[in-house]
Amino acid sequence: MTRRLNVRVDHACCVGNAMCLATAPGVFAHNDHRQSEVVDPEGESEEKILEAAFNCPTRAIRVEIAEGGEQLFP
Ligand code: SF4
């Protein structure tokens, strides 16, 4: 069974370079301000979401397990 994740983007940090969109296009999309938004936290595998978070140059992506709130990244 796939565990549900809470995925958030800190807009104070996001510089809009779209790396997360390239890695996990089912989860992230740009908003009108060209910053990343989470459109579907279940849109990609956990591995892809964590890869996107790890590769974000400003560490703007926060990932935690929905049930219990354990932080997976950063
Ligand atoms: S990779 Fe990070 S900085 Fe780039 S668009 Fe995504 S959240 Fe923003």
* CA 74/CA 69 separation, integer angstroms: 13
Computed over every residue of the chain, the mean pLDDT equals 96
Residue nearest to atom 2 of ligand 1 (CA): 56
Q: Is the peptide bond before 41 cis (omega within 30 degrees of 0)?
A: no
Residue nearest to atom 6 of ligand 1 (CA): 20
- pLDDT per position as a tens digit, 42-62: 999 999 999 999 999 999 999
Give the helix/strand (H/E) hosting 53. Answer: helix 46-55
Centre of ligand 1 to C-alpha 2, Å, is 25
Q: Is 22 in the pocket of ligand 1 (CB under 6 A)?
A: no
Owning domain of residue 55:
5-73
- CATH number of the domain encompassing residue 53: 3.30.70.20
Number of H helices and E strands in the chain, helices first, is 2, 5
The answer on pLDDT for 1 being more than 80 is no
Which atom from ligand 1 is nearest to the alpha carbon of 9? 7
Q: How many domains does the chain have?
A: 1
The answer on pLDDT for 2 being more than 90 is no
Cut 0.75: pTM above it: yes
